[in-house]
Amino acid sequence: MTKSEIKKAALDAIEACRGELIGMGRDLYAMPETGFREEKTSAYIKQVFEACGMSVRDRIALTGVRAVAPGRAHIVNVAVMGEMDALLMPSHARCDPVTGAFHGCGHSAQLTTVLGTALGLVRSGLVKELDGDLTFLGVPAEESIELEYRRGLVKAGKINSVSGKQEFIRLGEFDDIDMVLCSHIMGQTADAHSWIGHSWNGVLNKSVRFRGKGAHAGLAPHDGINALEAALCAMNSINALRESFRDDDHVRIHYIVTKGGDSPNIVPDDVRMEFGVRAATVEAMTAANARVNRALRCGAESVGAQVDIDDAAGGYLPCRQDRALGELYLANAREVLGAENAEDAFGSHRGSSTDCGDVASLVPLIHPYFGGAVGTPHGNEFDIVNEYAAYVVPAKLAAATIVDLLCDGAKGALGVKREFVPAFSGREEYLAYFRDVLGAAE
Ligand SMILES: [Zn+2]
């Protein structure tokens, strides 16, 4: 078969099972489970992969799933990845009445995209026309929630990282993968639509504790050291820095006070804060963090308090989508959706973060957005309303892109690989960065 014949057959195969795919999308949307608890979701996608005739490994990072479909040659290995986790949104009308979980970020649609790609390329037998292997990944825990539960899992030795993709990297699950196709629904339009190219900030999460000296706040404040004033001085120092960051670095420093003292009649001696420090590059994030730490120490010093800074509270690397891979996807999106519905978003930057950035620091990755939902993700208005746009179209775009990558001696994929410059030489250097560089950012 020629490349265009394979592509047409893949798109026809996905179109032919549109009803089945929409059913899967509905099932998964109605099965919201939060990170590292995706038991039902894991079993569901495993059964679909097995029905496609693939060998499946599950229970990776507790709930993750990996299925493999060999091509006729094994020149490269392309992964199609979906996130499995939901949010806790007990006030959403469609939440699980027992757990309060809801797919308010639409990750169920990502998983349906992965399943649809498997139906279109593997169940159809077309993978045997391709010159590379396909790997299908269901990855747990993208949302940074229930951190106490996750830290408990880390303490119990069940996982090492509170993010699913970071755990997959640590376990070596990306070692044999050459490139990754992910995707994400957006609440911007119910119509079939595609945006490819955005970049995202990285984020470094940190915990901070100011230690002062308690004393009677009325009788003997002179005997105390006020840890809350230390925190306030630190916040003012951080605010004094804000104007000094380069616009291009997109630095964000946001924080909350989780403990502000024990009682108003005692000089606060124990004040705790949680921080996120974000920026568009690893260098800018590390530099901004060092300046935040200086401001924190300055705040403590100003009133004679102590400060403990924990930079090991986790974080995600900045995310850049691969340009060459993105161009292939964009061409297919234009073909399938029409140019007016396929937007080139390279050059647009978002202040938010995703753990796809960690994967993209090691292998070429795309994370296009697609339409089909209304309302802001994570908001109570969010809902998937156009099931064809949310479940069928993105599977077609992923399958068509894979055909471009893996036909004719995997020429497309080899071109993507050739142009890619990883941020780290490999998994070991990546892990060392988190262990040493961020940990020692002070
Ligand atoms: Zn999301």
Q: Once rounded to an integer, what is the mean pLDDT over residues 170-194?
A: 95
Task: Specify the pLDDT at position 301.
Answer: 98
Q: What percent of the chain has pLDDT over 70?
A: 98
**Ligand 1 midpoint to CA 163 (Å):** 13
Instruction: Express each pLDDT in 109-148 by its tens digit.
Output: 999 999 999 999 999 999 999 999 999 999 999 998 898 8
- Residue 442: band (very low, low, confident or very high) from pLDDT cuts 50, 70, 90: very low
**Ligand 1 midpoint to CA 107 (Å):** 6
Domains of the chain, each with CATH number or no CATH: 3-198+321-437 (3.40.630.10), 202-315 (3.30.70.360)
Task: Specify the pLDDT at position 260.
Answer: 97
Residue ranges with CB less than 5 Å from ion ligand 1: 105
Instruction: Express each pLDDT in 256-311 by its tens digit.
Output: 999 999 999 999 999 999 999 999 998 999 899 999 999 999 999 999 999 999 88
Task: Specify the pLDDT at position 440.
Answer: 41
Q: Once rounded to an integer, what is the mean pLDDT over residues 171-179?
A: 97
Its pTM stands at 0.90
**Ligand 1 midpoint to CA 33 (Å):** 13
Instruction: Express each pLDDT in 389-439 by its tens digit.
Output: 999 999 999 999 999 999 999 999 999 999 999 988 899 999 888 776 555
Task: Specify the pLDDT at position 437.
Answer: 58
**Ligand 1 midpoint to CA 235 (Å):** 30
**Ligand 1 midpoint to CA 141 (Å):** 10
Q: What gap in Å lies between CA 442 and CA 440, rounded to an integer?
A: 5
Task: Specify the pLDDT at position 128.
Answer: 98
Q: Once rounded to an integer, what is the mean pLDDT over residues 328-355?
A: 96
Q: What gap in Å lies between CA 421 and CA 12, rounded to an integer?
A: 35
Q: What gap in Å lies between CA 257 and CA 84, rounded to an integer?
A: 31
**Ligand 1 midpoint to CA 102 (Å):** 12
Q: Once rounded to an integer, what is the mean pLDDT over residues 20-43?
A: 98
Which residue from 207, 187, 170, 44 is spatially nearest to 118, judged by alpha carbons?
A: 44
Task: Specify the pLDDT at position 436.
Answer: 67
**Ligand 1 midpoint to CA 212 (Å):** 40
**CA-based end-to-end distance of the chain:** 58
**Ligand 1 midpoint to CA 198 (Å):** 14
Contact yes or no for 385/326 (Cβ under 8 A): no
Structure-block tokens of residue 372: 């089909």
Instruction: Express each pLDDT in 200-224 by its tens digit.
Output: 999 988 899 999 999 999 999 999 9
**Ligand 1 midpoint to CA 184 (Å):** 7
* Residue 153: partners with Cβ closer than 8 Å, 6 or more residues away: 36, 62, 159
Task: Specify the pLDDT at position 30.
Answer: 97
